[in-house]
Amino acid sequence: MTSSTPEAPVRGASTTSHWGAYRAVTGPDGGLEIVPHPADPDPSPLLGNVASALRHPTRVARPAVRRSWLERGPGPRERRADEEFVEVGWDEALDLVAAELDRVRRVHGNQAIFGGSYGWASAGRFHHAPGQLRRFLNTVGGCTTSRNSYSLGTSLVLLPHLVGDAEQVLRRASTWPTIAAHTELIVAFGGLPGKNVHVTPGGVTRHITTGHLRALTADIALVSPIRDEAPAGARWYPLRPGTDTALMLALAHTLVSEDLHDRAFLDRCTTGFPEFARSLEGRDAEWAAPICGVPAADIRDLARRMARSRTLLTVTWSLQRTEYGEQPVWAGLALAALLGQIGLPGGGFGHGYGSMGDVGDPGPAGPAVRLPYLPQGRNPVEAFIPVARIADMLLHPGERFDYDGAVHTYPDIRLVHWAGGNPFHHHQDLNRLRRAFARPDTIVVHEPYWTATARHADVVLPATVTLEREDLGSGRRDTHVIAMHRAVEPYGEARDDYAILAALAARLGTEAQFTEGRTARQWVEHLYASWGGGPPFEEFWAAGEVELGTGPGTRTGTASPTRTGTASPTGTETGGPAPDESADDDGTLFAAFRRDPEANPLRTPSGRIELYSGTIASFGYDDCPGHPVWREPSEWRHVGRYPLHLIADQPATRLHSQLDVGAVSRAAKVAGREAIHLHPLDAAERGIAAGDVVRVFNDRGTCLAGAVLNTNLRRGVVRLPTGAWYDPLGDTCVHGNPNALTADRPSSRLSQGCTGQHALVQVERLDGDPPPVTVLEPPVLRKAAR
């Protein structure tokens, strides 16, 4: 490990983001220019959003309080998002928030405070807003929290039952170099979407995944309703959305019925094969063909190709963000087990190739590095929710819910404190979420921008963005640790979350516990020193980075748990600091287990891969039995009225909703709204032409979008990415947020994961002038009279 000097050094402030490391430099005209890291072979286009969003009019300039809350005090508000704000001074805002926190914890108990703050926030190890907020709330008695993530809420609960822990699948799969050397066939359920691979939690300095995707020589079977979600040359199986599990079971039936399965591997490394095999009766290719729209002959041919090849079967994260989302993950694992290749280089099962930039990334040479982060302390409140159940919690306090074999109760939330996230991006059925956000007494939000979450708050505290503060950053498999320099002064009166929370802690008597006597800069230095993996801090800060693993056998530092704490479970904060896991045998999945299952058992009841789980079966969930099954989505009962299948996938022009006001994101809008892709024949049936503003609707709501015609879709499928800033007019989002249409129902009683990937809709051309998009301007703001 050395302090690195780029081959072509770039002047300016070094920093990093979830979509890549860069430098902020002053351009010839005096404006800010964003220059990708010189070592990055494939910089993310998302960097083009940074400079244009930095001083956008939607930045929150000063603390703001909802007028009715300021004048009448805390309480539920049916019209929360429609009322004006009053700008106040920082002291008044902090006094109000501290008094309300104190009132709620004294009168209702700390379980009545929801420390929501789910979201990606900053790539920095210190200025990670959800971690900062949890640390603060834990010093004042704790809060109700959320578990898992919208991205992986289903898999993070399911996989421990099947393989012992989720990390075995999510972080230790075969690397791209291993795949290039060994894999003959990739069967990609959900595809290998290149648009997602520029993003990695914590940042990435060298984007290499796109290059590996282009260089693949393995045959690719693309199983997706979208043709362009795999490299050119892939064979396309355009199945009906939501039927991947049916296809997997038919493939498994072919393997078993034609004796193409690996009996020795199943006997040695799995349990539950007899139960699984019995469940396949009648689930042959002829059964699956009319369900999924793939010919039976093609199903049988694909199964035979899989059996005679070194095959990597991969399932994108998107497939588990659906009703019964456990099933494609479980069926995919079972199908890979039948092939007997789990644990072989370039073979077996993968979950997330193309879903995230670090899946398959070999990372730095030598061992992976665990970097420090701000410890959060202990939360004495036991109440929690699965993250996607926030509207249920707010609307139904006291109601019981199932989760992973236990029964829990929703607490009665009186105060929501949110920092570093936007639930009006992540959550489904936004009209329902608006009703839920009307129920608490008080909502406090730290935000740099006037997002829908800020507009639904009672108190909005202006927060800085990355370029306005100091930090250190590095992703889970990044090759560098980046010194995140402050490049510009904070916008307006914005403060960083640490300063905001330290001031609240001082008012509540816990400042010493929260700050430990350190400034933000001193915390950054302390975390770097506790890592102990690089040159002195001053040298690191001046160089702007430390390169990791500069050669074979390079020693790398690890954080001391006693000094920096242990990272929160994977997925709790999707974009936050997470432990970096060491790969075994060049990243090959389950290599040690395969070699000797008795000596290296999995952390399952059997010590093996569980094709049938007696534990899950004992829970008695009708929507998630003890083995993989295909169930028809309940949404399909509306197919007569809503014949188009909407896929609400991740955008290519931003990370979720972050920097939707940036230049790259705005340039991709059509008629000022999010672009919806339709097959030309589906559009022609509805009299829709490219560029038209269209109305997309179902029973839950409506949104307006700009039409793009795309032959790379299966007929009957439309594609509307998530992340357009929610701009409601009645029950219509005029800006094109698909979560005005998606259902707020859990994947199953097992995981309670979100189901926001699919919905049934109708689309029609909008006649007349569309209503204006208003979310690009701040809400009505008044100055305080006092």
pLDDT at 570 over 50: no
- pLDDT tens profile 81-121: 788 999 999 999 999 999 999 999 999 999 999 998 888 88
3-state secondary structure of 311: strand
CA-nearest of 488, 368, 719 to 15 is 488
The predicted structure's pLDDT at residue 564: 34
Of 37, 54, 17, 31, whose CA–CA distance to 468 is shortest? 54
Q: Report which secondary-structure segment, H or E, holds 192.
A: none
The band of 122, judged by pLDDT with boundaries at 50, 70 and 90, is confident
Q: Which of 69, 118, 236, 642 is catalytic?
A: 118
Between the two ends of the chain, the Cα-to-Cα distance in Å is: 57
Residue 653 has pLDDT above 80, yes or no: yes
Instruction: Give me the mean pLDDT over the 165-171 stretch.
Output: 83
pLDDT of 574 over the 90 cut: no
pLDDT band at 588 (very low <50, low <70, confident <90, very high): low
| Structural domains of the chain sorted by starting position, each given as residue range(s) with its CATH number in brackets | 64-151+376-564 (3.40.50.740), 155-354+590-619 (3.40.228.10), 637-765 (2.40.40.20)
**Over residues 202-229, mean pLDDT:** 94
Whether residue 528 lies in the annotated active site: no
> Model confidence over 299-331: pLDDT tens digits?
999 999 999 999 999 999 999 999 999 999 999
Does residue 351 surpass a pLDDT of 80?
yes
Which residues, 6 or more positions from 348, have their beta carbon under 8 angstroms from its beta carbon? 173, 174, 312, 313, 336, 339, 341, 342, 589, 590
Report pLDDT for 476. Answer: 84
Section 196-201 average pLDDT? 92
- The amino acid present at 209, given as its one-letter code, is T
Q: Is this prediction's pTM over 0.75?
A: yes
The span from the CA of 253 to the CA of 265, in Å, is: 17
Reported for 78-84, long-range contacts at CB under 8 A and 24+ positions apart, including other chains, are 78/438, 79/438, 80/434, 80/437, 80/438, 80/443, 80/456, 80/457, 80/458, 81/434, 81/437, 81/452, 81/455, 81/456, 81/728, 84/779, 84/780, 84/781, 84/782
- The 10 Å Cβ neighbour count of residue 264 is 9
Mean pLDDT of the region 403-419 = 98
Average pLDDT of span 378-399: 98
CA angle 354, 616, 259 (to 5 degrees): 70
| Residue 580: per-residue pLDDT | 32
Q: Is 636 an active-site residue?
A: no
Report the distance separating Cα 544 and Cα 205, nearest Å. Answer: 12
d(CA 383, CA 391): 16
- What pLDDT is stored for residue 121 in this prediction? 86
Condensed to tens digits (0 to 9), the pLDDT of residues 18-70 reads 999 999 998 888 789 999 999 999 999 999 999 999 999 999 999 999 999 99
pLDDT in tens, 260-278: 999 999 999 999 999 999 9
Which entry of 22, 120, 330, 541 is annotated as an active-site residue?
Answer: 120
pLDDT reading at 179 higher than 50: yes
State how far the Cα of 668 lies from the Cα of 652, in Å rounded to an integer.
9
Residue 371: which pLDDT band, with cuts at 50, 70 and 90?
confident
- pLDDT score recorded for residue 119: 84
Residue 30: what pLDDT?
78
Inter-residue contact 644 to 716 (CB < 8 Å): yes
For residue 717, what are the β-bridge partners?
A: 645
Q: Mean pLDDT throughout 174-196?
A: 95
Confidence band, pLDDT 50/70/90 cuts, at residue 169: confident
% pLDDT > 90, the chain: 84
Winning range, highest mean pLDDT, from 84-88, 163-167, 582-586:
84-88
